[in-house]
Chains A and B, each alone.
Chain A
Amino acid sequence: MKKILLVFAVAVLYILHQDFWFWRTAHPLVFGFVPIGLFYHGCYSIAASLVMWLLVKFAWPSNLEREVEQQISEEEANA
């Protein structure tokens, strides 16, 4: 279930990249000089970072890490 939710979050973020709703307007100018389309994609970058944090927190491939550590300790024991 956790993995399905994470896949869903990534898919939603991918779709949100196509922000057709701000396509033809510069308004409002955030802080008086940043066009809304640029501000949106700045916020999008922050959202991408948050989703990456969720992936690292809840879907980290720790099995790969364990396999490598196990092999290293076996090699050290053999040596």
Chain B
Amino acid sequence: MIPAIVVFVYLAVVLYIGIFAFRHVKGKEQAEGFFLANRSIGPFVFLFSLFGTNMTAFAILGSSGHAFTNGIVTFGLMASSSGLVIPLTIFLIGTRVWALGKKHGFMTPVQMFRDRWECSHIGTLISFVQAALLVPYIIIGIMGGGTTLNAVSGGLVPYWFGGAIVALVVMGYVFFGGMRGTAWVNTFQTALFLIFGAAALVVIGVGMGGYRTAAQQMLASPALAPLLTRERISPLYFFSYTFIPLSAIAFPHILIFTLTAGKMAHFKKTVILYPLCIMAVWLPCVFLGVMANRVTDVPQIRAKQEARRVLATQGKTMTPEARDQLREQSAADDVILQLLDRYAPLWLAGLLGAGIMAAVMASDSQILALSTMFTKDVFAFYGGKERFGETVQVQAGRLFIVIITIIAYLVALRAPETIFELAIQYAFSGYAALSPLLIGALFWKGSTKWGALAVTVWVIATVVAVAVFQSVVPAPAPGPAVVIWSLGGTEVLSRTPGGTAVFGFMPVVPMVLGSALLMFVVSLVTAKPAATTIARYFGGPKSLERADAH
């Protein structure tokens, strides 16, 4: 029960920071104050909060679970590629969006797209697609909260109650604290999981009798040794993963957060330190996930390994349903929790549980982003602000926060978690494929609203196509992929144990390339925005004056 008490204390601290620490801040009843913290976030909070916003439950629990099953490849797949691509996109795209936000007052990406391409309903469609891809994260966050509280309390806190507490805490500080409260909570949470990630590495290492022995034992086992290499993952699959981090800057909550920096210089530390922060969090998680395979005295870990072994040796002769059941049994997202339960003293397990809870609760910025999008892209755009005024606009945003949290909680109670884990996988590819919208808007004068529409329709079509394909064609047993369509001896479309392959690549590669091509070709043959509009984006202040004069 001690770990659960520590986690409850942690939740109380978070609630205090989010709600009460900023109750005297000026302008929080104005839209800019509530949704963007008056565009005045400092460099330290900007770095930690932006990083923490990206470190979801999927990043912390999912990384160790993925490493438990697939080995050290997890770090190269998801962390080091992000360490290059994400800061690069923040440097190239984030800084430009920040400057345009300051100059033209944008608060959401769609506000910028509508202005840049002179469109209205196409913007609404983009906003809808962004929201649809974001909702699964919020549901997963509440589910993760329920699961974690249930685990750290030894089952004393039921799943429904744990989920309700997490939903209420997150809703509370987002509702009252807006962007400033959320940013400070994220900063506190990031500091927590940076510190406790390192603590977990040391405590579990000592408990296991040192990593040298564990690594040698794994190397000596034919079943476990491949986990210390990347031989189970194809180089094309590995390469495909470098496209996934393009999703980060296209996530509305990340792009909206870039608008909160007080000065553009605040981006400098974030860009430089981002790869190191990713390394500091992911390296311990991945390493511990791999090393958990050597733990022989935890029945839950043994059960996962046994399910994995049966799936690998007998999977081909099983029904798809039986394979899915074994996959669920071998799922290892709770492996870090199991290690803490086994090796950490009770008080430290509580602190580490709080660190994990911090990652699980990253859904706060997504809830706030959805609220900002609803308020600015829908409510204000369709006349709500003019009719009801600025204050009602913020109240509408707050009401939306309550509604979306309640809906997410009710869905989290009834639906199986695996559905939303899959949805998140599709969402990463979907957002990556939306990134040409930003590149087109910011770097190419020739891009048009019809190009943007083509990209959006393409993203909807391909995300749905992959989802339908994977539900119709069951996943094969571990081993070679099942070829569904080949052309002249070349494998075009395959069903792999973990998903889909197109010419051997993950679907994200053709999705992103297709988006970029559509943006280019459709924009070439359709009418451009007015010269005055283009001048406001590419001409600098003098051109802006000229444009306004006309």
> A3 at interface (Cβ–Cβ under 8 A)?
no
Q: Are A41 and B235 in contact (CB under 8 A)?
A: no
Measured between alpha carbons, how far is A56 from B286 in the docked complex, in Å? 30
For residue B312, CB closer than 8 A to chain A, the reply is: no
Is the beta-carbon distance between A70 and B541 smaller than 8 angstroms?
A: yes
Contact B272 A37 (CB under 8 A): no
Cβ contact within 8 Å between A44 and B80:
yes
> Interface residues of B: mostly helix, strand, loop or mixed?
helix
Interface size class, chain B: 35 or more
Write the nearest CB–CB distance from A56 to chain B, whole angstroms.
5
| B541 adjacent to A48 (CB under 8 Å) | no
Q: Is the CB of A46 within 8 A of B274?
A: no
Q: Please provide the chain A residues from 1 to 59 with a CB less than 8 Å away from any CB of chain B in the complex.
A: 10, 13-14, 17-20, 22-26, 29, 32-35, 37-38, 41-42, 44-46, 48-49, 51-53, 55-56
B72 pairs with A52, CB closer than 8 A: no
Say yes or no: B238 contacts A26, CB within 8 Å: no
Tell whether, in the assembled complex, residue A18 and residue B238 are in contact, meaning their CB atoms are under 8 Å apart: yes
CA distance A65 to B91 in the complex (A): 13
> Is there contact, CB below 8 Å, between B272 and A26?
no
Q: Residues of B contacting A20 with CB < 8 Å?
A: 235
A70 CA / B229 CA spacing, docked (Å) = 54
Chain A residues, CB < 8 A from B540: 63, 67
A65→B99 contact, CB < 8 A: yes
B228 to A42, Cβ gap below 8 A? Answer: no
Closest Cβ of chain A to B267, distance in Å, is 8
| Contact between chains at A42 and B541 (CB < 8 Å) | no
Are A17 and B84 interface neighbours, CB within 8 A?
Answer: yes
A45 touches B276 (CB 8 A): yes
On whether the beta carbons of B242 and A17 are closer than 8 Å, the reply is: yes
Give bound CA distance, A4 to B544, whole Å: 29
A75 to B: closest C-beta gap in Å:
10
Is the beta-carbon distance between A26 and B225 smaller than 8 angstroms?
A: yes
The reply to whether the CB of A78 lies closer than 8 angstroms to some CB of chain B is: no
When the two chains form their complex, are residues B215 and A48 in contact, meaning their CB atoms are under 8 A apart?
no
Complex alpha-carbon distance, A34 and B283, angstroms: 11
Complex contact B75–A48 (CB within 8 A): no
Q: Which chain A residues lie closer than 8 Å to B81 at the CB level?
A: 17
* Residues of A participating in the B interface, judged by any CB pair closer than 8 Å: 10, 13-14, 17-20, 22-26, 29, 32-35, 37-38, 41-42, 44-46, 48-49, 51-53, 55-56, 60-61, 63-65, 67-68, 70-72
In the A-B complex, the 7 residue pairs with the smallest Cβ-Cβ separation, listed nearest first, are A26-B228, A33-B211, A45-B279, A64-B99, A48-B275, A33-B215, A41-B80
